[in-house]
Amino acid sequence: MARTVWLLGSLLAIGIAYILYEPSFDPESLRGARVVITGCSSGIGEQMAYEYAKLGAKVVITARREKRLQEVVAKMSELGAQQALYVAGDMGKVEDCERTIQTAKDKLGGLDILVINHLASTIDNKFFQYLWDGDMEYAEKHIQANYVSYIRLASLALPTLHKNSGSIVVVGSGAGKFPVPLNAIYAGTKFGLRGFFSSLRQELRIQKSNVSVTYIVLGSIDTGLGKKAIKDRGLDTKQPMYPAAVAAQVIIRGGATRQRDVYYPWGQIWTLAKIWDIFPEVGDYFLEQSVIGSSKQYDRSPLLE
């Protein structure tokens, strides 16, 4: 009996140590690193651009709004980026994905870190605020922009990342770890990304490639989009939101130390994910109540009429 208790205690201690373990991070490891970041005109992407700049990296950023990209690149140069370039484009388009990765190869001489962060959130103004209604045109546009483009960018970058023992960092969401109502297509893309890149990580190891894959699981982040999501869903606007600048630092550190999964905020999002893993019915209940108890009333989906 005593031996069983000792064994269980040891396993528990090992599990806790594994959960809390955080690899040491050397900021100098990113000086001169060649980085591509998508979705950099605002929010977390913009903050990551500034953080990489402070660390002396060489960075290509991309988004659709060229004027904003010009402003971000100018600030990156002031903050210490060795090189700061931009590609104005829509990652939902094949040619813009190709142009982004080719720019890194041509202008930076290769690529060490690919951070895929963009989010096409304004398609038909149906984001974070609707019951699934069977709109397949919307679904196809959203999946192309927020799922297929991630796979395409990683595929385009993989040859040079393999040569340089580089890293892929995929910025995901809690909606890719547990289902969230009113987010069916968005959650579907995030679950899909986690599945694809988890499998890709295994395939790279099988082939003895030293490319790391880090999946980021984010909670409520204080960005324009995050605030809009809460407002559109009629939720409590006083619920805690976490700084985009800190999220950017956590993402960069996780990618640089080649971690498997990174949760931010850890206490909130890791706990929710584990509750749903162990007690999915309980997790579903609380997530559903957050919608039922909101100030916004939702009509029935036309699929149920």
Q: Cα–Cα distance between 243 and 246 in angstroms, integer?
A: 5
Q: Cα–Cα distance between 205 and 210 in angstroms, integer?
A: 7
Active-site position among 52, 150, 186, 263: 186
Token pair in block for residue 126:
């149906």
Q: What is the pLDDT of residue 14?
A: 45
Residue at token pair 């080649």? 258
- DSSP-derived secondary structure letter, 62: E
Q: Count of residues for the chain?
A: 305
Burial of 41 (0-12, 13-18, 19+ CB in 10 A): buried
Read off the pTM.
0.88
Q: Is the separation of the CB atoms in 38 and 62 below 8 Å?
A: yes
> Can 130 be counted among the known catalytic residues?
no
Q: Cα–Cα distance between 291 and 193 in angstroms, integer?
A: 25
Q: pLDDT in tens for each of the 305 residues of the chain?
A: 666 545 544 444 444 444 555 678 899 999 999 999 999 999 999 999 999 999 999 999 999 999 999 999 999 999 999 999 999 999 999 999 999 999 999 999 999 999 999 987 555 556 556 788 888 988 898 899 999 999 999 999 999 999 999 999 999 998 889 888 888 888 999 999 999 999 999 999 999 999 999 999 998 786 666 555 655 555 555 667 778 999 999 999 999 999 999 999 888 889 888 888 999 998 888 878 776 665 556 667 788 87
Cβ within 8 Å of residue 26, ≥6 positions away: 256
Strands 212-218 and 261-264: parallel
